[in-house]
Amino acid sequence: MTSSIRIAIIGGGVAGASLLHALVKSPHLDVHIFESANEFKEAGMAFGIARNAQSALQLIGPSAVRSLEQAGAVPMRGVRFMLAQGEGAGTLADETDSDVHGKSLTSIVHRANFLQELLAGISHDRMHASKKLEKVVQDGSVTLHFTDGTTHECDIVVGADGIHSTVRKLILGSDVSATPRNSGGWFLMTLQPFEKVQASLGKELISIEDAREYGWIGENVFLMHNILSDGKLVQFAIASNDTGIESQSLDSWQRTVGADEIRKLFQGYPPHIRDAVYELLCDQPEHKALYLWEHPNAPTYSSGPMCVTGDAAHATTPWHGSGGGMSIEDSLILSTLLGRAKTPAEALVALKVYDRIRRPRTQRIVEASRVTGDILMGRNEEYGLDPRKFPGSFVARWDFIIDIDMEKHRDDALQLMEAELKGV
């Protein structure tokens, strides 16, 4: 017999929203989502939803795929890595092309629009804003306590509460992996009008008919641009690494980057790219940049009735553009397993299986991203400013992420759950 299972999702970012979207299809699951902010909104700018995450959306269902389309996502025909400095400055380091391989690569989407589409049509009774989780009390039942003094009872708590996750700390306690660490790298992202960037960079680099993501590899400075919002916007982002971070405040999450600092970072770039950066970023005295933090590998993503997904489980540096994609994969697997559970006791098994299936893959991606970041900023000792020295193809570093057979991954999870349930 199937009894109702009460699920509380903490956090309304892409991890929480995609999980809610997937879970509401199972009528025996009574799902609620709690967000600490006073509304459900995405603060970030744009992200790439790569082939693996697109497959996960397809398996979640047609409405999930539509969310991406209706948010104005622009499929990239290709991704090109260019050498910006050193011997081969101005030439191609490596590329991948969806037409050549006959497969989609990545689609760039405005985060707020995507979140809005994922949550569209979901009953407002299930969505609770201004609810910041403070603690979880387990005394036979599971009670969530929020900072406004209210409570909520449930059977299962999913922490989709991001890199500062409260649920992660409840699961991991004093383990060193409970808190994230600063990589020292920082990213400054802007969204610019398409016409303005095209006028600066030229039609060859910025074209909606031939939409490609470009990454420019320089000496401790990386430039990336791609197209989104049905071709109306360009994400124009730069990254660098603070040397001597150890001696600086390791607790910083943000820093300002002044126009003079940007000019200095890009002075060795090919002149047409350098001038575009000056034009597009140095027209204001300073920008806000985010430090790139990541989680050390956690020994588990679940404990009893609690688990973590998305950045709460595996916050990563962004070099593989995979944090959001991993969150969507988590949502597919977790929703499949919880959908299979018929009772609260079986839902506990679902969380254990989710941990076993998802932890190895997601932690491998976090580790790979760290190495890729060093290569993209010319900081790798072996390859320096030229990833062509990389054995084999550099872009093949993404293969294990985007070429996963998501259907098999899901079926492996279900099979493991059936085996575990037989032993229950």
Least separation in angstroms between residue 298's CB and ligand FAD is 14
Determine which residue in the list 78, 185, 218, 318 makes contact with ligand FAD, applying CB under 6 A.
Answer: 318
Quick check: 184 binds ligand FAD (CB under 6 A)? no
Determine which residue in the list 19, 35, 270, 374 makes contact with ligand FAD, applying CB under 6 A.
Answer: 35
Choices 22-30, 40-48, 216-224, 396-404 (CB under 6 A): range interacting with ligand FAD: 40-48
- How many angstroms separate the CA atoms of 240 and 262, rounded? 10
Least separation in angstroms between residue 79's CB and ligand FAD is 11
- How many angstroms separate the CA atoms of 276 and 289, rounded? 19
Q: By C-beta, is 242 or 311 nearer to ligand FAD?
A: 311
Q: How many residues bind ligand FAD (CB under 6 A)?
A: 35
Choices 68-76, 250-258, 316-324, 335-343 (CB under 6 A): range interacting with ligand FAD: 316-324
Residues of span 186-215 touching ligand FAD by CB under 6 A? 187, 189
Choices 62-70, 155-163, 246-254, 278-286 (CB under 6 A): range interacting with ligand FAD: 155-163
Determine which residue in the list 7, 9, 26, 36 makes contact with ligand FAD, applying CB under 6 A.
Answer: 36
CB-based burial of residue 388 (10 Å sphere; 0-12 exposed, 13-18 middle, 19+ buried)?
middle
Contact 109, 44 (CB under 8 A): no
Choices 249-257, 314-322, 353-361, 395-403 (CB under 6 A): range interacting with ligand FAD: 314-322
Determine which residue in the list 184, 215, 323, 344 makes contact with ligand FAD, applying CB under 6 A.
Answer: 323
Residues of span 42-101 touching ligand FAD by CB under 6 A? 44, 47-48
Residues of span 123-142 touching ligand FAD by CB under 6 A? 131-133
Least separation in angstroms between residue 86's CB and ligand FAD is 25
Q: By C-beta, is 76 or 349 nearer to ligand FAD?
A: 76
Least separation in angstroms between residue 39's CB and ligand FAD is 10
Determine which residue in the list 5, 8, 9, 14 makes contact with ligand FAD, applying CB under 6 A.
Answer: 14
Quick check: 257 binds ligand FAD (CB under 6 A)? no
Least separation in angstroms between residue 310's CB and ligand FAD is 2
Determine which residue in the list 310, 344, 378, 387 makes contact with ligand FAD, applying CB under 6 A.
Answer: 310
Residues of span 325-384 touching ligand FAD by CB under 6 A? 325, 327
Determine which residue in the list 311, 329, 346, 355 makes contact with ligand FAD, applying CB under 6 A.
Answer: 311
Q: SS3 for the chain, per residue?
A: CCCCEEEEEECCCHHHHHHHHHHCCCCCEEEEEECCCCCCCCCCCEEEEEHHHHHHHHHHCHHHHHHHHHCCCEECCEEEEEECCCCCCCCEEEEEEHHHHCCCCEEEEEHHHHHHHHHCCCCHHHEECCCCEEEEEEECEEEEEECCCCEEEECEEEECCCCCCHHHHHHHCCCHHHCCEEEEEEEEEEEEEHHHHHHHHCCCCCCCCCCEEEEEECCCEEEEEEEEHHHCEEEEEEEEECCCHHHCCCCCCEEEEEHHHHHHHCCCCCHHHHHHHHHHHCCCCEEEEEEEEECCCCCCCEECCEEECCHHHHCCCHHHCCHHHHHHHHHHHHHHHHHHCCCHHHHHHHHHHHHHHHHHHHHHHHHHHHHHHHHHCCCCCCCCCCHHHCCCCCHHHHHHHHCCCHHHHHHHHHHHHHHHHHCC
Quick check: 324 binds ligand FAD (CB under 6 A)? yes
Q: Which residues bind ligand FAD (CB under 6 A)?
A: 10-16, 34-37, 44, 47-48, 131-133, 160-162, 164, 166, 187, 189, 290, 310-312, 318, 321-325, 327
